[in-house]
Amino acid sequence: MNRLQGKISCIQQSGAILLVDINVDEHVFSAMLIESATRQEWLMEGNTVELVFKETEVALAKNLSGLISMRNRMKCTVRHIERGELLSKVSLQFLKYVITSAITTRSVDSLELKIFDEVEALVKANEVSLMKKQ
């Protein structure tokens, strides 16, 4: 599981759906949450939270240009590639965090990924969960 720590900067709500913006070291991330009838008391602007997302939800791009709907974009450097027959794990450096992406080995090959390559890691807002900071 990938984890980043940040502060909630904005919460928009429509019915049971929340769009929460979180500031992680001056980078804004978004999480789309579906809440029950009552909002958790820790889910308030200014509170520190952990963003959590699965390795399989991290897409990678090289030389990305143009507009894209994915709100969570991280400029990263490839640190390590663990190649499997079908699936590979790519370790990425994002600021002080290590992010892991699990993508097909075919994708690693088609992107021609190498150690020290600059890539963008992308995660859809609905794939990000928030946890109360302990």
User: pLDDT tens, 118-132?
Assistant: 999 999 999 999 998
pLDDT at 50 (0 to 100):
96
pLDDT at 40 (0 to 100):
78
Per-residue pLDDT reduced to its tens digit, 94-103: 999 999 999 9
User: How much is the average pLDDT of 76-96?
Assistant: 98
Q: Which CATH number fits domain 2-132: 2.40.50.100, 3.30.450.260, 3.30.360.10, 3.40.50.2300?
A: 2.40.50.100
Instruction: Domain ranges for the chain, please list them.
Output: 2-132
Instruction: Find, among 30, 48, 7, the residue nearest to 127 by Cα.
Output: 30
CA-CA distance, 32 to 53, in Å (whole number)? 12
CA-CA distance, 90 to 82, in Å (whole number)? 6
Mean of the per-residue pLDDT values for the chain?
Answer: 94
pLDDT at 78 (0 to 100):
98
CA-CA distance, 117 to 62, in Å (whole number)? 9
User: How much is the average pLDDT of 104-117?
Assistant: 97
Instruction: Find, among 70, 58, 71, the residue nearest to 1 by Cα.
Output: 58
| pTM, to two decimals | 0.91
CA-CA distance, 87 to 34, in Å (whole number)? 31
CA-to-CA separations, 50 to 15, 25, 27, 70, 131, in angstroms, rounded: 24, 13, 14, 19, 5
User: How much is the average pLDDT of 101-107?
Assistant: 98
Q: Which residue has the tokens 């429509």?
A: 14
The yes-or-no verdict on residue 49 having pLDDT over 80 is yes
User: How much is the average pLDDT of 16-38?
Assistant: 90
Contacts of 121 (CB under 8 A, 6+ apart): 58, 59, 60, 73, 74, 76, 92, 94, 99, 101
